[in-house]
Amino acid sequence: MPSLFDPIQLGAIAAPNRILMAPLTRGRATREAVPTAMMTEYYTQRASAGLIISEATGISREGLGWPFAPGLWTDEQVEAWKPVTDSVHAAGGRIIVQMWHMGRQVHSSVIGGQPVSSSATATAGQAHTFEGKQDFETARPLALDEIPRLLADYELATKNALRAGFDGVQIHGANGYLVDQFLRDNANFRDDVYGGSIENRIRLMREITERVAGVAGADRTSIRLSPNGDSQGVDDSNPKALFVAAAKALDEIGIAFLELREPGPNGTFGRTDVPKLSPEIREVFSNPLVVNSDYRSAEEAQAAIDSGVADAVAFGRTFISNPDLPERLRTGAALAVDNPRTWYSQGPEGYIDYPALETAEA
């Protein structure tokens, strides 16, 4: 059975260990979604990960409603990402970008128009905006003649990711965002080819993945799904059937790896009413399967690999406060604790000021 510290081939990417850095929204870009110099230092500090999956990065202004999150739809954004990827590579690391369309999880004050989704629905609660939290708004359904434009946005973002020097891309298909809103039958009430049956509801995910893989190559394409739920009120009446079908479709495309966000009973955004579906997905997905959500120790992660379900583990919060996490896990060193108040605070505090083990010990 492989060790957490053994190398793994993730499509075209040779990862030196099976400790991946999960995508983590941090809010350190500019108001125009342009990466900053501070982000170069942040990612470089974490280059010892087997693979860095970047924070969720908008494919378009329509799709990016999180204040101070980065984007990949303008030349300025592409140029600002280049120092990040160059520095990570110089430090011996590998980094892919997670491409994000938030769907209805945005506010018009940020994107400059009405949110879009699979159907005319709204999320309960409030959206993050530049002016603080505001009530979510009702989204308008994407029209059939808009789907080609959406696919073109994903294609452009993929081309821009490669121009920016990323080693590959990940499609954000989880956590109640646009792709998830098309997948789930409590958010998708369409009566066209993108709604109704499971086959129809996975259609947009398949088309996006095929378009992205056509640009980056399937061996540099991955996707994140959240089969046992999320914190955004997006559910399904039969998640097992839905996500097994989705995994089969992704397996047919031949993507490099599939990442599953599966919160447990004590997760950061945990829920317990839907069991983890990774064992069933493992049966139909033949390439590497990566599991994620609130893993905090080498023992927990190794147990997931030893079970035969997972090939690698993506760590989230622990990478915030432990930039050299693989070494800490390897040596059994104590893990520093992060401060949630600094997750999205724009400054260096809680971002680039967590010391590596050698500095901390000194």
Q: pLDDT for 107-161, tens place per residue? A: 999 999 999 999 999 999 999 999 999 999 999 999 999 999 999 999 999 999 9
Q: Residue 196, class by beta-carbon neighbours within 10 Å (0-12 exposed, 13-18 middle, 19+ buried)?
A: middle
Q: Is residue 88 a contact partner of residue 94, using CB atoms and an 8 Å limit?
A: yes
User: Residue 257: which residues within 8 A CB-CB, separation 6 or more?
Assistant: 10, 11, 222, 287, 288, 289, 290, 311, 312
Quick one: what percent of the chain has pLDDT higher than 70? 95
Res 193 pLDDT > 70? yes
140-141 and 116-117 strand pairing: parallel
Res 359 pLDDT > 70? no
pLDDT digits (tens, 9 = 90+) for 45-88: 999 999 999 999 999 999 999 999 999 999 999 999 999 999 99
Domain 8-361 matching CATH 3.20.20.70: the answer reads yes
pTM: 0.96
pLDDT at 75: 98
pLDDT digits (tens, 9 = 90+) for 241-264: 999 999 999 999 999 999 999 987
Q: Is residue 301 a contact partner of residue 319, using CB atoms and an 8 Å limit?
A: no
pLDDT digits (tens, 9 = 90+) for 212-223: 999 999 999 999
Longest dimension (CA), the chain: 63
Name the nearest CA neighbour of 37 among 93, 98, 83. Answer: 83
312-315 and 289-292 strand pairing: parallel
User: Residue 340: which residues within 8 A CB-CB, separation 6 or more?
Assistant: none
Q: Is residue 42 a contact partner of residue 320, using CB atoms and an 8 Å limit?
A: no
Res 7 pLDDT > 60? yes
pLDDT at 127: 94
pLDDT at 357: 86
Q: What angle do CA 240, 241, 246 make, to 5 degrees?
A: 100
| pLDDT, average across residues 326-330 | 97
pLDDT digits (tens, 9 = 90+) for 26-50: 999 999 999 999 999 999 999 999 9
Mean pLDDT of all residues in the chain?
95
Q: CA torsion sign, 230 to 174 to 104 to 170?
A: positive
Q: What angle do CA 242, 213, 278 make, to 5 degrees?
A: 35
- Kindly indicate the confidence band of residue 267, based on its pLDDT and cuts at 50, 70 and 90: low
Q: Is 95 or 357 the better-scoring residue by pLDDT?
A: 95
Catalytically annotated residues: 177
pLDDT at 265: 65
Where do the structural domains in the chain lie, given as residue ranges? 8-361
pLDDT at 15: 98
- Kindly indicate the confidence band of residue 312, based on its pLDDT and cuts at 50, 70 and 90: very high
Residue with tokens 């809010």: 27
Q: How far apart are CA 184 and CA 344, in angstroms?
A: 29
Would you state the structure tokens that stand for residue 185, as one six-digit string? Answer: 């039958």
Name the nearest CA neighbour of 9 among 216, 168, 210, 214. Answer: 168
DSSP class per residue in 290-355 = EEES---SHHHHHHHHHTTS-SEEEE-HHHHH-TTHHHHHHHTPPPPPP-GGGTT-SSSTTTT-PP
Q: How far apart are CA 45 and CA 43, in angstroms?
A: 5
